[in-house]
Amino acid sequence: MDKILLIDDDEALGYSIKRSLADRYLVETADTPRLAYEILHNTPDISLIFLDIRLGDSNGLHLLERIKKDFPDIPVIMITAFGTSDTVLESIRLGAKDFLTKPVNIEDLIEYIEKYKKNKRFEICGNEYVKVEDVTSKGFIGISKDIREVLKIVANVSPTKTPVLIVGESGTGKELIANMIHKYSGRRGAFVPINCAAIPRDLLESELFGYEKGAFSGATASKPGKFELAQGGTIFLDEIGEISKGLQSKLLRVLETSEIEHLGGTKKIKLDVRLVAATNKKISELMDENLFRQDLYFRVSGVTIKLPALRDRVEDIEQLAKYFINIFAKEYKKSITCLNKKVIDILSSYTWPGNVREFKNVINTAVMLADGKSIEPEHIKLNLTENDPGYGRETDFNNINEAVESLEKEMILNALKSNNFHLSKTADALGISRVTLNAKIKKYGIKIKG
Ligand SMILES: Nc1ncnc2c1ncn2[C@@H]1O[C@H](COP(=O)(O)OP(=O)(O)OP(=O)(O)O)[C@@H](O)[C@H]1O
Ligand SMILES: [Mg+2]
């Protein structure tokens, strides 16, 4: 039940209002500012205040000013015996929402309460919420001990030329870290990433080292390799565990001599390239199976940075959530200011097989679904893991409208099913009117059974 505070020195009025509204609202009454403040401090969830402009000896406007300062989120309606006057206008200027004239009519009271009462869920972040303040990014979000440790290493190793190997499950932020290492290296050349798993094995060598015209069939012109493109900068060998044994030997030689030769060429090219590599495979296992050269491993792992899985650093969940909510809220032009604490619990107890990448997708969807100022548990769709058909939703669409429409259709279908195709119930569950629901059913060509 919504709680209303009536501040009026007319005790009889207070009593009668309290009685008339008893079955709809919990009405607290105060006949002095002191008592009003006591109630406000002890009852954090007051939805609306009625305040008499003339309050015995004390001035209602002063109290209004103080209330607006100390409890800015609670709407205040003034009660006045004199209709429009300068005082009423002044009270509106000071932040009152509206005014009622005495004698007070119960119907009017109810109308005003319903019109102006604070929507607890959306307008403020109550006790069950945390505020979504701006998380300013220094590139890599995280406050956990493990991440602080990682960032310390990044800061120390970046300005050196030491090769860095970044290990961690998929989606833990390896590429982001590689980027940071380059950024903080002060190296003027480019950051050149190459995903060794994405390029067919027999093409990888020419991609890395470049080739001369006629080096192989199809080589109609000479082309520089990624190492050359990274001259003076950083090459990022992603998924280094995927490199064939043959190419591993050549790579080792290049790293040892700091020189390359184009395929089909003889000229040696001197390199000044910082190497950063990443893998989500356990290199030690690859070495046990004789699939990865130990000498190459030692070459690339001057410093190893291990990125922990998201499930092992729940302390970072809240910050990551705020960070991504900010990003997507901006993108979708929504103002989301509150995050339900239950959401943090839900996000913290999930296993995140896709780590931060999956987390980011879940928050994207949640922000898209949010219809008010808060992210609620029902906005969190955790089934979007890599193994689920819905995965990749974020990128499979050409624009936001398409994505929203697809999600909307899916939600309507699910709601129809779970409400046994009862239209009013479905509309209620979705928080839209029946007319709107009907229009959408038509728009999406949804067939209603029965
Ligand atoms: N700590 C973080 N702070 C902010 N964004 C992050 C963080 N970690 C990861 N991300 C974001 O998550 C996504 C996945 O990160 P990234 O591509 O770096 O992962 P990865 O470890 O290289 O994954 P894979 O092994 O699948 O290639 C990116 O959009 C990245 O920006
Ligand atoms: Mg990656």
pLDDT tens-place string over residues 321-375: 999 999 999 999 888 999 999 999 999 999 999 999 999 999 999 999 998 889 9
Alpha helices (H) in 24-173, listed in sequence order: 33-42, 60-70, 86-93, 106-116, 120-123, 145-157
- The pTM of this model reads 0.63
Which residue has the least CA distance to atom 15 on ligand 1? 173
Mind listing the pLDDT tens digit for each residue in 11-41?
Answer: 888 899 999 999 999 999 999 999 999 999 9
The type of residue at 56 is G
Ligand 1 nearest-atom number relative to CA 168? 21
Phi and psi angles of residue 163, each rounded to the nearest 5 degrees, phi first: -65, 140
Q: What is the distance between the alpha carbons of residues 235 and 233, in angstroms, rounded to a whole number?
A: 7
Report strand pairing: 303-306 vs 129-131. unpaired
- Does CATH number 3.40.50.2300 belong to domain 3-118? yes
- Tell me which long-range contacts 328-332 makes (C-beta under 8 A, separation of at least 24): 328/363, 328/364, 328/367, 328/368, 329/132, 329/367, 331/400, 332/367, 332/368, 332/400
Rounded CA-CA distance 76/53 in Å is 11
| CA 118-123-124 angle, 5° bins | 105
CA distance 417 to 202: 51
The whole-number pLDDT of residue 127 equals 82
Q: Which residue has the tokens 């990014």?
A: 137
Residues of the chain with CATH 1.10.10.60: 400-450
Q: How far is the CA of 417 from the centre of ligand 2 (A)?
A: 39
Convert the pLDDT of each residue in 375-393 to its tens digit.
Answer: 999 999 985 444 433 344 4
- Which residues make up the CATH 1.10.8.60 domain(s) of the chain? 314-396
Domain 314-396 indexed as CATH 2.20.25.650: no
Ligand 1, atom 29, lies closest to the CA of 357
CA–centroid distance, residue 140 to ligand 1 (Å): 9
Going from the Cα of 392 to the center of ligand 1, the distance in angstroms, rounded, reads 15
pLDDT, tens only, 387-414: 433 344 445 677 777 778 888 888 888 8
Phi-psi group of 87: left, alpha or beta (phi > 0 → left; psi -120 to 50 → alpha; rest → beta): alpha
Atom nearest to 169 CA in ligand 1: 25
SS3 182: helix
Q: In sequence order, what DSSP letters do the residues of 320-357 get, joined into one string?
A: HHHHHHHHHHHHTT----EEEHHHHHHHHHS--TTHHH
The verdict on domain 400-450 having CATH code 1.10.4080.10 is no
Nearest ligand 1 atom to the CA of 173 is 18
Please give the distance, rounded to the nearest whole angstrom, from the Cα atom of residue 301 to the centre of ligand 2: 17
Ligand 1 closest atom vs CA 360? 12
Assigned CATH class of 145-306 = alpha beta
Select the more confidently predicted residue: 422 or 233: 233
For residue 404, what are the CA distances in angstroms to 40, 361, 365? 41, 14, 9
